[in-house]
Structure 1
Amino acid sequence: MDIRRRAERTSETASSDYFTGDVTAERLFEAPDPARTAAVRVTFQPGARTAWHTHPLGQTLYIVEGTGLVQRECGDIETVGVGDVVMFAPGEKHWHGASRDSMMTHIAIHERKDGNHVEWLEKVSDDQYEGRG
């Protein structure tokens, strides 16, 4: 058994290479091999979002606070809120973040494949975020 106490974890500012706006991330856990699961609590301030990205084994988001936006490539922007669960398929190109007028926090759960859990792609433009492109 391994207990990770809240006081032992810290939040850090997410990299501007992969996020737009004010985003903080708190790594909750990364299971040791042979397990592959990891979870991160991510808080997006209004208008903040990820870049487009994929996960080799998919990703699940559990919304715990606020109102967010999610979109998969060639799909509509969807609004999500507290208690919603969003599942992206392996390799599905997508982004997620806060709505324009609300912050949003989610727990992101994903698995490693060959040591990798995410492939970062281009940033989401303001036009894409606003549903204009």
Structure 2
Amino acid sequence: MDRKELEKVSDFSLGEENTAYAPYFIGKSYLSLLNNKEVTICNVTFEPGCRNNWHIHHGGGQILICVGGHGWYQEMGKQSQLLKSGDVVYIAPEIKHWHGAVADEAFSHLALSVPVEGNSSEWCEPVTDEEYEKLR
């Protein structure tokens, strides 16, 4: 997808290509820092088929607010959830999970986290093509 198409996925700023976290994603994503005072808020946009690796937030949870397109969210050992604009997902600390776009459509969500002393993210294995293709 070209940049102009991706900018239409949500009303929030697309930001720049997410190169810092690219090793933890399959496909291309974009990241825009919207706020870093008290609560960190980022707009994350995934190209079609893009998803992040399984990961765990240590010390504090995360809230996803879906703002455009369609995506997936899955916690380890649970069924995946199809996400659409307006959906909100609370991810408790220490829960292994992943999220990303459906195969044929871009997806955008706001990621909110409260900075907590000792907060960290542990990046784990990729979501395999076999796992991902079962979601279609």
Classify the TM-score, shorter chain. 0.7 to 0.9
Name the residue aligned to 1:116: 119
Structure 2 residue matching 1:122: 3-state secondary structure: coil
| Identical positions, percent | 38
112-121 or 87-96, which moves further after superposition? 112-121
| TM-score normalised by structure 2 residue count | 0.80
Name the residue aligned to 2:8: none
The number of equivalent residue pairs is 120
Name the residue aligned to 1:84: 87
Q: Structure 2 residue aligned with 1:16, among 18, 22, 35?
A: 22
RMSD of Structure 2 on Structure 1 (CA):
1.8
Deviation for aligned residue 1:75 = 0.8
Q: Is residue 64 from structure 1 mapped to residue 67 from structure 2 by the alignment?
A: yes
55-64 or 123-132, which moves further after superposition? 123-132
56-65 or 123-132, which moves further after superposition? 123-132
Distance 1:122 1:22 in 2: 17
The letter of the residue matching 2:81 is E
Deviation for aligned residue 1:111 = 2.4
Does structure 2 conserve the Cα–Cα contact (< 8 Å) formed by 1:53 and 1:121?
yes
Deviation for aligned residue 1:115 = 4.6
**Would the alpha carbon gap of residues 111 and 117 (structure 1) be closer, same or farther in structure 2, given more than 3 Å must change?**
farther
| TM-score normalised by structure 1 residue count | 0.82
